[in-house]
Amino acid sequence: MQTLAPASRPAATIHRAHKPVRLRTLVLIRWLAITGQMTTIFFLAFALGKDLPLAPAMTIVALSIALNLVASIRYPSSHRLSDGAAASLLAYDTLQLAALLYLTGGLGNPFSLLFLAPVAVSATILSLRSTLLIGLLAMVCVTVLALVHRPLPGARDGAAFPDLYLYGQWTATMVGIAFLGAYLWRLAADARRMSDALVATQIALAREQRMSALGGLAAAAAHELGTPLGTITMAAGEMLRSVAPESELASDVELIASEARRCRDILGRIAKGPERESEHSYLWQGLESLLREAAAHQHRDGVQVSIEAPGDGALHVIRRPEVVHGLTNLIENAVDFARSRVMIEAEADSREIHIRVLDDGPGFPHDVLGAIGEPYISSRSGGEGLGLGVFISKTLLERTGGVMMISNRVEGGARVEIVWPRAALESRSTPAP
């Protein structure tokens, strides 16, 4: 089975980062927790002289110290954790706090409020699934500590807290975990959506700036190339008049003249600009007719271009210049690289219109496949080309609501597929004659 990959990694859609948090952040939070735990243990044991299980408590704290040291030595400070790895570390912190509270009075210990800390951290930086798991683990620990724990250090004659107090403490902690986790996760989700929207806007603005720069380059190129093309056309006309019609050079001279005229037509369309071209751009056109227009001038000796489209004539689309120019560039690339054949296929279902440009050439190099579609990324060898053709096509086609996907065919060659919602291209009324 063939897998299609988006042509541009940062473009298509903006998702949450796969590795949302740095290891250093969690390490620093744990160092703060360790400092507070050791300070509390030493203050109770030595300053107040309370009967505290010092050895087990220090062993639990030492495990956290060892974990922090291993993480700091093994990984660089910039190392980022996956969602699952960060959730595992927060789960350890929850269990470590539960172990300390078991030794020091359970829910009767005022520091049981710290169960809210790992839940708050998870809700801020991790996914909803991880936050739910951390919250569930904290609730289980709180429930177990309400039932099983050692006496609070300093309690007289093993006196226990009233059941009503413990029940209230358990209820308050459980409600705090649920409310704080849900509230912080919602706030963080809103912040992430705003951040994603800002990134998407910045990417769109950057692409528009690049397209504007390319438009300026195109206008300058059209101006500069006008004179030499005129000279070539004039020289080709003189050669054609001086060469006998039956000469072997006559067809070559005619080809040079026709290609020069084609170049002047292209430069003329560039010079007219989109405002003047748009007067006749948005007309109804059959899908197959649009594909034939895009492929009309794409020929190379030994390469056959075939078009397969819905043949019932019922599907008409809006002729948009962006679609024609974008498809023309893609077909031209396919013809340049094909060995013997280029296939242009079109399909339409009740929701989408698909157009595929296939060739039997060498395909895209795997080392640049994921970046094809970005400016100045070219698959041509020897430094030929600027790597702008696919970028321009992708930008133009995305303006019309399409999504372009690039891959290599299993049987060899390149595959470019563009998918539009039918509403973006299909006419909603019967086309005029």
Residue 9: per-residue pLDDT = 39
**Model pLDDT for residues 93-152, shown as the tens digit of each residue:** 999 999 999 988 888 888 888 999 999 999 988 888 999 999 999 999 999 998 888 887
Please report, for residues 15, 18, 85, 169, 332, the alpha-carbon distance to residue 22 in angstroms, rounded to integers and kept in the order given.
18, 12, 11, 34, 46
Residue 336 counted as domain residue: yes
Q: What is the pLDDT of residue 139?
A: 94
pLDDT at 382 > cutoff 80: no
Q: So what's the pLDDT on residue 317?
A: 79
Distance, CA of 431 to CA of 433 (rounded, Å): 6
Question: How many domains is the chain partitioned into structurally?
Answer: 3
Place of tokens 């980062």: 17
Phi, psi of 284 (to 5 degrees): -75, 140
Same domain, 264 and 306: no
pLDDT at 5 over 50: no
Same domain, 144 and 178: yes
Higher pLDDT, 377 or 165: 165
Instruction: Give the number of residues written for the chain.
Output: 433
Domain boundary among 201, 222, 252: 201
pLDDT in tens, 269-293: 666 555 444 444 456 778 888 888 8
Give the pLDDT confidence score for residue 391 in this predicted structure: 79
Core vs surface per residue 292-317: b (16+ CB within 10 A) or e: eebbeebeeeebebebebeeeeebbb
Over residues 147-175, the mean pLDDT reads 79
Domain assignment present for 14:
no
Looking at the structure, tell me whether residues 77 and 210 fall in a common domain. no
Burial category of 6 from C-beta neighbours within 10 Å (exposed 0-12, middle 13-18, buried 19 and up): middle
Query: Is 12 part of a structural domain of the chain?
Result: no
pLDDT of residue 276: 45
Same domain, residue pair 236 and 140: no
**Greatest distance between any 2 Cα atoms in the chain:** 123
Q: Are residues 235 and 253 in the same domain?
A: yes
CA distance to 7, 68, 209, 321, per residue, from 395 (Å):
11, 48, 12, 13
Q: Reply yes or no on whether the pLDDT at 47 is more than 90.
A: no
- Tens digits of residue pLDDT in 292-335: 888 887 888 888 889 888 754 567 777 777 788 888 889 988 89
With pLDDT > 90 as the criterion, what percentage of the chain qualifies?
A: 19
Residue 186: CB atoms within 10 A of its CB come to 12
Q: Is residue 157 part of a domain?
A: yes
Q: What is the pLDDT of residues 387-424, one digit of tens each?
A: 567 877 888 888 888 888 988 988 888 999 999 988 88
Residue 386 phi/psi, 5° resolution?
-95, -5
User: Is a pLDDT exceeding 70 seen at residue 379?
Assistant: no
Residues 265 and 171 in one domain: no
Higher pLDDT among residues 163 and 17, named by residue: 163
**Structural domain containing residue 310:** 281-425
| pLDDT tens digit sequence for 222-260 | 667 777 877 887 888 788 778 777 777 778 888 888 888
Q: Which amino acid is at 311?
A: G
Q: What is the pLDDT of residue 384?
A: 53
Based on the fold, state whether residues 180 and 271 are members of the same structural domain: no
Domain closes at, from 232, 260, 278: 278
In a domain, 119, yes or no: yes
Q: Look up the CATH number of the domain holding residue 295.
A: 3.30.565.10
Closest listed residue to residue 363, CA positions, set 300, 411, 291, 298:
411
Residue 8 has pLDDT above 90, yes or no: no
Q: Are 195 and 250 in a shared domain?
A: no
Q: How confident is the model at residue 65 (pLDDT cuts 50, 70, 90)?
A: very high
pLDDT tens digits for range 189-206: 888 777 776 676 677 667
Using the predicted structure, report yes or no on whether residue 31 has a pLDDT greater than 70.
yes
Give the pLDDT confidence score for residue 239 in this predicted structure: 82
Q: Is residue 171 domain-shared with residue 211, that is, in the same domain?
A: no
pLDDT of residue 281: 46
Q: Tell me, what amino acid is at 149?
A: H
301: helix, coil or strand? coil
Query: Does residue 229 lie in a domain region?
Result: yes
Is the same domain home to 113 and 63? yes
Q: Calculate the alpha carbon distances from 227 to 171, 224, 230, 232, 267 in Å.
A: 85, 7, 5, 9, 11
Whether 244 and 290 map to the same domain: the answer is no
Give yes or no: residues 151 and 76 share one domain. Answer: yes
Q: Which residue carries 């020091």 as its tokens? A: 104
Q: Which of residues 7 and 27 earns the better pLDDT score?
A: 27
What was the pLDDT predicted at 11?
A: 38
Residues in a beta bridge with 346: 355
At which of 259, 278, 297 does a domain end?
A: 278
| Residue 411 placed within a domain | yes
Q: For 338-375, how does the pLDDT look when each residue is reduced to its tens digit (9 = 90+)?
A: 989 999 998 888 888 899 999 998 888 887 777 777 76
Residues 6+ apart with CB under 8 A from 67: 30, 92
Helices (H), 104-162: 116-125, 128-147
Question: Does residue 382 lie in a domain region?
Answer: yes
